Chain A
Amino acid sequence: MVKNNDKVIGQDAVVKKGWLIAHKWLLLRRLSQLSILSLFLMGPLFGYWFIKGNMSSSLFMDTVPLSDPFVFLQTLFTGYLPEISVVVGAVIVALFYFIVGGRVYCSWVCPINIVTDAADWLRRVLKIKTSLSFSRMGRYGLLVISMVLASITGILVWELVNPVTMIQREIVFGMGLSWLFIVAIFILDAFVSRRAWCGHLCPMGAFYSLLGQASILKVNAINRSSCNDCMDCFSVCPEPQVIKPALKGKAESSPVIYSGNCTNCARCIDVCAENVFTIKHRFIN
Chain B
Amino acid sequence: MNTPSNKSLQSRRRFLENISKAAGGAALFGIGLGLYSQQSKSLPSTAIRPPGVNNESDFLSACVRCGLCVRDCPYDTLKLSKLGEHVALGTPYFDARSIPCEMCEDIPCVKACPTGALDPELTNIDDARMGLAVLIDQEACIAFQGLRCEVCYNVCPIQNKAISINRQRNNRTGKHALFIPVVHSSDCTGCGKCEHACILEEAAIKVLPTKLAKGELGHHYRLGWEEKQKAGESLVTPDLEHKYNLPQGTEYDYEGKGLIQPDETPFNESALDRLNKGRL
User: B122 to chain A: closest CB distance in Å?
Assistant: 13
Among listed B5-13, B33-41, B177-185, B228-236, interface-contacting one: B33-41
- Cα-based distance from A157 to B63 in the complex (angstroms): 12
Contact B114 A85 (CB under 8 A): yes
Chain A hits for B120, CB < 8 A? 83
| A175 in contact (CB, < 8 A) | yes
Interface size for B (C-beta < 8 A) is: 40
The interface-forming segment of B82-90, B160-168, B216-224, B245-253 is B82-90
Closest 9 A-B residue pairs measured CB to CB? A176-B82, A57-B66, A78-B61, A83-B116, A177-B84, A155-B60, A85-B114, A86-B114, A177-B83
B36 / chain A contacts, CB cutoff of 8 Å: 157, 160-161
Which A residues lie within 8 Å of B112 (CB)? 59
Write out the residue numbers on chain B whose beta carbons fall within 8 Å of the beta carbon of A53. Answer: 66-68, 71
- A89, A159, A172 interface centre (most CB from chain B within 10 Å): A159
Taking each of A152, A173, A174, which has the highest tally of chain B beta carbons within 10 Å of its own beta carbon?
Answer: A173
Tell yes or no: B98 within 8 A of A by CB: no
Q: Which residues of chain A from 107 to 159 have a CB within 8 Å of any chain B CB? A: 135, 137-138, 141-142, 145, 148-150, 152-159
Q: Choose from A72, A135, A178 the contact partner of B83 (Cβ within 8 Å).
A: A178
Residues of A within 8 A of B65 (CB): 54, 56, 71, 156, 159, 165, 169
- CB<8 Å pairs between A and B, sample of 30: A52-B71, A53-B68, A53-B71, A57-B68, A58-B68, A59-B112, A67-B66, A67-B114, A82-B62, A82-B114, A82-B115, A83-B114, A83-B115, A85-B115, A137-B22, A149-B30, A155-B60, A155-B61, A155-B88, A157-B33, A157-B34, A159-B90, A160-B37, A166-B90, A170-B82, A172-B67, A173-B67, A174-B79, A175-B82, A181-B83
Other 17 A-B pairs with CB < 8 A, given A57-B68, A67-B64, A157-B34: A54-B65, A67-B114, A71-B65, A75-B62, A78-B61, A79-B61, A80-B115, A85-B114, A145-B30, A149-B30, A155-B88, A156-B61, A157-B36, A157-B37, A159-B64, A174-B82, A176-B83
Known: A165-B65, A175-B82. A153 touches B34 (CB 8 A): yes
Choice from A49, A80, A169 contacting B80 with Cβ under 8 Å: A169
Residues of chain B with a CB closer than 8 A to A165's CB: 65, 90
Q: Which residues of A contact B37 (CB under 8 A)?
A: 149, 153, 155, 157, 160
B18 at the binding interface (Cβ < 8 Å): yes
Q: Are A82 and B116 in contact (CB-based, < 8 A)? A: yes
Distance of A65 Cα from B115 Cα, bound (Å): 11
**Would A80 and B62 count as touching, CB distance under 8 A?**
yes
Contact of A177 among B29, B82, B115 (CB under 8 A): B82
* Interface residues, chain B, with chain A CB atoms under 8 Å away: 18, 22, 26, 29-30, 33-34, 36-38, 40-41, 57-58, 60-68, 70-71, 79-80, 82-85, 88-90, 112-116, 120
Q: Is A43 an interface residue (CB 8 A)?
A: yes
Complex partner residue of B64 from A86, A157, A160, A170, CB under 8 angstroms: A86
Option from B29, B40, B79, B116 in Cβ contact (under 8 Å) with A160: B40
Chain B nearest CB: distance from A47 CB in Å?
A: 11
- Residues on the A chain within 8 Å of B64, using CB: 56-57, 67-68, 71-72, 75, 86, 156, 159
Given A159-B65, A160-B40, also A135-B18 (CB < 8 A): yes
Q: Which residues of A contact B113 (CB under 8 A)?
A: 83
